[in-house]
Structure 1
Amino acid sequence: MSFFGELYLRSTLPFLSEAVTAREVEYLERAFADVPGPAPVVDLGCGHGRHAVRLNSSGPLAGRVIGLELDALSLSMRRTGFPAVQGDLRALPFQQASLAGAYAWYSTLFAFTDEEHVHILREVARVLRPGGRLVFQTVPYERLVESPAAAFQQTLPDGSVLEEQSRFDAVTGRDEGRRTLTLPTGRRLTASYAIRYYPLAELTRLLESTGFLTAWVHGGLDGGPPATRSTDLIVGAALRSR
């Protein structure tokens, strides 16, 4: 079974409250407030559209957001109020220099191999207009180094039981885990995943090698700098002049 699909949706949606989404949307509105229109901004890996639907309805990106999602189930469940296309991050279905910006949340850009991450960022650079902006959120490498092993079990509101074990390898920078969701019917959904987390200096070099300049690095939605206890690493990058 693919990790991103029914398993991911059923096990993740209960934790994505409207309050959390609202705070993330407020951050993204600030991040793109000065990006000139009318070219679109794409939600890379939009899922069911919790960010896109809000951003497209009001504020600085109203009427400008388009979603991109590979998983057909997520697209079938997406909220109404924004356009979306089915597509792969590794082959973006957009013309060169056609977008004003792009954003991705929850390490969406880094669930592939190192080589594919280079290709994905080059694809994003290809479709952005001069001066275009990329914003993405991930988890600080240092936080995972401090707590490399994780395991938990929790009963979700619908009675499903969620179990997960993961271990982070500081040498490879990869967090590998396995998630199992047992539904009230007894049906079990299980899949493995691997996500790459880069030290900030390495991430900066990766962005520079694929056509970007780092504009800011935040440690949380309040826009403050990264700190020892930061739970987020949010990066804003600008496309270099071609």
Structure 2
Amino acid sequence: MYLRSTLPFLSAEMTQREVAYLERAFQGLALPGPIVDLGCGHGRHAAPLNTRGALAGRILGLELDALSLRERLPGFPVVRADLRSLPFRPGSLAGAYAWYSTLFVFSDEEHVALLREVARSLRPGGLLVLHTAPRERLESEPQASFSGRLPDGSHLEEESRFDAVRGRDEATRRLTLPDGRVLSGRYGIRYYRLEELTQLLESTGFSVEWIHGGLEGEPPSESSLDLIVGARVRPA
């Protein structure tokens, strides 16, 4: 359902801008080894990054969803695995990135274990880039809804509510396909305050290197729609 209901909103222009940001973020990474796309989906970042530019030949995808893997774009290797149990040897990766809060759909305890797994898999000095949304954005609009027709004729309905006490955005999504079949489900995403996120990273083996509020590398502000953090694995 996520693939079918989200893909229509991911424009080629936005993907190009995000790919350009990731290229800039990793272009100076001198460490040997692959850079893994954690939760690569159908590969809209991994495919272009691995086939051209400074990161060509270095990108590896990791995804659990079978449909996304079957429909993934060509041009990059991929492994099917769970984010909470990475199939990589210690210190075997040079870098990793995760987009759209991919790392924060579990419990707080699992987020700690997950980030420790990423730190274990990266070489000392390895770079993690993660993207999420500023918590303040959710706090300013704690309730949201959407109802509309998608390009393939499907009808999408979604209701979400941000719980400021738990820091979680809880949502229900219902997708009615053109043939009448209905897909529905619930999901939650954890949004951390910046100081909480910094503490979480530093407690799991990272040192925060930069914080951006957008794809041009601008600092966070009250109007930021993005929160992008770059963090390095500390030497053991």
TM-score (norm 2): 0.99
How far has the Cα of 1:37 moved from its partner? 4.5
SS at match of 2:229: strand
Partner of 2:58: 64
Equivalent residue for 1:208, pick from 199, 202, 210: 202
Q: Which moved more, 1:178-187 or 1:30-39?
A: 30-39
1:166 equivalent to 2:134? Answer no
Identity %: 67
TM-score, normalised on structure 1?
0.96
The equivalent of 1:55 in structure 2 is 49
Q: List runs of 5+ in structure 2 lacking aligned partners.
A: none
CA RMSD of superposed structures (Å): 0.7
Which residue pairs with 1:22 in the alignment? 16
Equivalent position to 2:181, from 180, 183, 187? 187
- Could you list the structure 1 runs, at least 4 aligned residues long, displaced by more than 3 angstroms after superposition: none
CA distance in 1: counterparts of 2:167 and 2:219, whole angstroms:
22
Distance in 2 (alpha carbons) for counterparts of 1:60 and 1:92: 25
Is 1:196 aligned with 2:151? no
1:170 and 1:237 map into 2 onto residues whose CA distance is 26
Q: Which residue, 15, 27, 39 being the options, matches 2:33? A: 39
Q: Which residue of 2 aligns with 1:81?
A: 75
Separation in structure 2 between the aligned mates of residue 38 and residue 52 of structure 1, nearest angstrom: 18
SS at match of 1:185: coil
Which letter maps to 1:230?
Answer: S
CA drift at 1:38:
3.3
Q: Deviations over 1:165-217 (max 9, x none)?
A: 00001111000000000111111100000100000001000000000011111
SS at match of 2:117: helix
Which residue number corresponds to residue 3 of structure 1?
none
Q: How many residues align?
A: 236
Q: Alpha-carbon deviations, 1:90-111, whole Å to 9, x = none?
A: 0000000000000000000000
Which whole-Å CA distance do the structure 2 matches of 1:143 and 1:79 have between them?
32
SS of the residue 2:45 aligns to: helix
1:130-169 correspondence to structure 2 within 5 Å: 130-169=124-163
Per-residue deviation at 1:61? 1.0
Write the distance in 2 (CA, Å) between the matches of 1:154 and 1:174: 25
